[in-house]
Amino acid sequence: MGLKDKAGAIRLVSDIKARLADVVQKTGRLDIELAMQMLAADRGSILKAARILESEGAIVMKSRFWGEVEFQALTKQDQTVNSERLLELIVKRGRMSLKKAASDLGVSRDYARDLVAELEVLKFVRYRERLRGGGMIEGDEHQIFKYRIDQDVSRLRAHGRIIYTTADYLLELARRSRSLTVEAAARVLGTTEAEIEAKAKDMSEVLMLEYPANPSASPRIIVKRTVAKDNIKPVEGTVVETYNLKADEVPAKVTIVSREDEPMNIYSIETPLVGDGTKAILKSFAEDLSTLVKISPDDISDQKRMLEVGEKFYVSARNLIKDSFSISQEDVNILAGMMLHQMFGLGSIELLMHDDWLEEVCVNTSHIPVTAYHKRFGWVKTNITLEDERMVYNYAAQIGRKVEKDITSLDPIMDAHLLSGDRVNATLFPISNFGNTITIRKFARQPWTIIHYISPQIGTISAEMAAFLWMCFQYELNVIIGGGTASGKTSMLNCLCALIQPTQRVITIEDTRELNLPSYLKWNWVPLTTRSPNPEGKGEISMLDLIVTSLRMRPDRVVLGEIRRRREAEVLFEAMHTGHSVYSTIHADTAENLKRRLIEPPIEVPSSEIEALHLMVVVYRDRKRGERKVFEIAEIIPGESGKEFELNYLYHWNTRAREFVKVNDSKRIMDDLSMHTGMSRDDIKRDIKEKEEILNWMLKNDIKDLEAVGATMEEYYKSPQKLLEKVRR
């Protein structure tokens, strides 16, 4: 063929190449028969043009059955995917030829070589040219796995906080690699072999080192066992509400979730994700911390000393973590807080204990999630589960030891309290048929005050009713608060006790300490608590013992946590008759029901004794709306000529109209106050109005905190007029 003919053939192939590239890019895929028809060219010319386009990385040629050939467009998107696919091929095979890689990926050899060059820069592969058959690609699986782990961690960080350390990379590399040596791990993680070897030894729970016979060879790192999965998993569903909390520097996100397959809301709590390797090393710190932080038997039973030991434990854990990991100070604090929860507290339950929206936390055996009572959403199921029944028992026993109480198979029921004051009940199987249980009635970290209760958001009581009760407490009238279970009896009593003047001596008597008075009252406040007998049946201090003792302590006010037995009630009413101001709570749904409980068995106090009581306040919980209200306030009207006393209803909550209604004017209280204070009825009404004015002013100025309310009460009792002047400015 002459030069002229060769030039013509080249122009023909060039023309076919341009038209073929255009058609393939437009159609995406084209077989050779259709290409011959569309381009009006012979098979040989089209194949020549296609090979040139493939070498340029514009199309891919695919061989089909019976010798058919198909052309596919190669887009930029394909090129991105192919880089990842090449990495996957190398991980699976370890090494492969460039020709095989190009064939498996469906790209030209030149384009495959470009992909290999990219991976060489990242140190994922090494490429070696060969005389025949193209080059050979050898993968560095450890570098590739490190890259994959980085990607996984980045994805996790996009969804929340994650604490991932060198220990986690080491464990994950050992899991994914066919064979990982100390030398390879040190090279990939950019550290020394000595540090890797030390880390592996610290992680002896999950990793082991296998030393070869050849002393110069690097030890192998082998995964011994898997780490126990976290017992907190986020729950998916319709989000009802979210909020954040922090427990000992451990941040948590709470999401209230509604699901169609669940009858109640789900309380989903999320904490920073900690890598398994980091967890293993934290667990290895247990022995070091037990050496650094000594706990004596005297420390366990002393609340103040236990809090000091807890603080010392936290500081020691923080120092160990800081020396072992290269992480931020914030992450150090988080890990120290988690260790404090696991080794010194109740594990994941500690997060629930720091949520002020929760009133009750219940472990109903390890087989089902922990449940809780939420102030807004009622009973909710959490996403926290305990590992086994042994863990439930250990937590119960730990709680008991701190307050000198035991729970055993011979004594499987325990009433105790946490150092924070929260009330605890625990039972063991088979007394509780499904397994061991723990029920914690939370003691408010920031106690409710009367200002919280009169606020529109809560609305437990009106300002007028609160002012009336304030006056009754100021002038030492006897009051009993009734209500059902978890209706807020003790909280209401605590609110009203904070209104007592600071010149009085207050004695409180409880099974488990729940009452908390402001600082201005604590100088002359003596809290007393009962004590259960020891295993030999000795050493019991009953409620009755404490009531009798309190009357010998010259109290101005005696506050009894709850009336349960006849003898206790008799002594209490006797105290009223001897001139002591007495307050207590009792289980009763209405004022009439409260009256019947006092005069009928099993309490059965004579009607004439009960007449020493001035006022009944009944609170209730609206289960439908999840709110608490003062349902009734009634005064006791003594009977005439031996007749039974009567009730005069003063205030009532109208559930249909959803408003507080004044039913009647006071008779007895007005008369008693007039007789003992010299105030007229108009003076008493004016006093109530002034108190209502002060309460509304406190609400307007957000004076809700217990100490802030206490400071205002102190100011009022020093000079009522000065405070009123401030209020009216």
400 assigned to some structural domain: yes
- Whether 92 and 44 share a structural domain: no
Residue 95 and residue 182 in one domain = no
Residues 518, 525: Cα–Cα separation, whole Å: 10
Residue 402 and residue 379: Cα distance in Å, rounded?
29
Q: Is residue 380, in this structure, part of any structural domain at all?
A: yes
Asked if the structure places residue 498 within a domain, the reply is yes
Judge if 371 and 408 occupy the same domain.
yes
Is 303 domain-assigned?
no
Q: Within this chain, do residues 479 and 610 fall inside the same structural domain, yes or no?
A: yes
Instruction: With a cut of 90, say whether residue 231 has pLDDT above it.
Output: no
Do 476 and 549 sit in the same domain of this protein? Answer: yes
pLDDT at 728 over 50: yes
In this structure, of 147-161, 363-377, 492-506, the range with the lowest mean pLDDT score is 147-161
Inside any domain, residue 7 = no
Per-residue pLDDT tens over the stretch 132-156:
556 888 877 788 888 888 888 888 8
How confident is the model over 388-430, as pLDDT tens digits? 999 999 999 999 988 888 899 988 999 888 888 888 999 999 9
For residue 412, cis peptide bond before it (omega within 30 degrees of 0) = no
User: The domain spanning residue 525 has which CATH number?
Assistant: 3.40.50.300
Residue 36: give the domain boundaries: 13-73
Q: Is residue 289 part of a domain?
A: no
pLDDT digits (tens, 9 = 90+) for 175-202: 888 788 999 889 888 889 999 999 999 8
Same structural domain, 382 and 478 = no
Question: Are residues 538 and 496 both part of a single domain?
Answer: yes
Contact 360, 439 (CB under 8 A): yes
**Distance between first and last Cα of the chain:** 113
Residue 430, preceding peptide bond in cis (omega within 30° of 0): yes
0.75 exceeded by pTM: no
Residues 701-709, mean pLDDT to the nearest whole number: 93
Q: Do residues 703 and 712 lie in contact, with contact meaning Cβ atoms separated by under 8 Å?
A: yes
Highest mean pLDDT among 48-62, 92-106, 296-310: 92-106
233 falls within a domain: no
Helix (H) or strand (E) holding 358: strand 358-363
Q: How far apart, in Å, are the Cα atoms of 366 and each of 231, 387, 390, 392?
A: 11, 6, 9, 7
**One domain, residues 356 and 432:** yes
* Mean confidence (pLDDT) of the chain: 87
Nearest-5° Cα angle at 87, 84 to 92: 130
Q: What is residue 80's predicted lDDT score, i.e. its pLDDT? A: 47
Kindly report, residue by residue over 668-692, the tens digit of the pLDDT: 999 999 999 999 999 999 999 999 9
- Residue 309 counted as domain residue: no
For residue 710, which amino acid is it? G
**437 and 459 within one domain:** no
Instruction: Look at residue 72 in the predicted model and tell me its pLDDT.
Output: 67
Domain count, the chain: 5
Whichever domain contains 34, its CATH number is 1.10.10.10
Q: Which of 189, 223, 257 is the last residue of a domain?
A: 223
Rg (CA), the chain: 39
